[in-house]
Amino acid sequence: MKYIFLFSCLLTSFSVFSQNTPLKKQVYFESGSYALSQQSLMTLFEIANLVKESPSYTMILTGHTDNTGNITANQKLSEHRVGAVKNYLLQLGLNSEWIRADFFGADQPATRNADDEGKHSNRRVEISVYYYPPSEPTKIKSEVVVPPHRKKTIH
């Protein structure tokens, strides 16, 4: 019974999003790692199930690190984190053409890197899902909102 309640709560938390209000979630990583945790797998599974029910979507993944290590290594680590998330979403059956991916290393922290809690918050991949109504399927690729700060895209 406890698991049914948890599953219902997760579905409810993902159930409302629109073109104007994207669904935004994050998955977090251990220091120096791009391995997906059980919690991350569950979050991605829920997002994938929601998106499969609404096939008119665009998803933007952005990878981040804390400020531990050098700039080049952090840039590469954020790329690997995005790749891990994207690969798992593709394994769950999402359309690769509708997933955009960027990585920023330690350039865009969510919070200060002053302590372990702050650093943990910065070791993340942000997932933004934009929904397009089925009556407007041709707008999916032409009206994607792309952040102006995009540095690099992996396909």
At 119 the pLDDT is 96
Domains annotated on the chain, with CATH = 17-154 (3.30.1330.60)
**By C-alpha distance, which of 37, 26, 39, 28 is closest to 116?**
28
**Rounded Cα–Cα distance for residues 58 and 17 (Å):** 12
**Rounded Cα–Cα distance for residues 51 and 53 (Å):** 5
Q: Average the pLDDT over 138-154 and give the result.
A: 40
Q: What is the pLDDT of residues 61-99, one digit of tens each?
A: 999 999 999 999 999 999 999 999 999 999 999 988 889
At 14 the pLDDT is 45
At 53 the pLDDT is 78
**Burial, 117: exposed, middle or buried (Cβ in 10 Å; 0-12, 13-18, 19+)?**
exposed
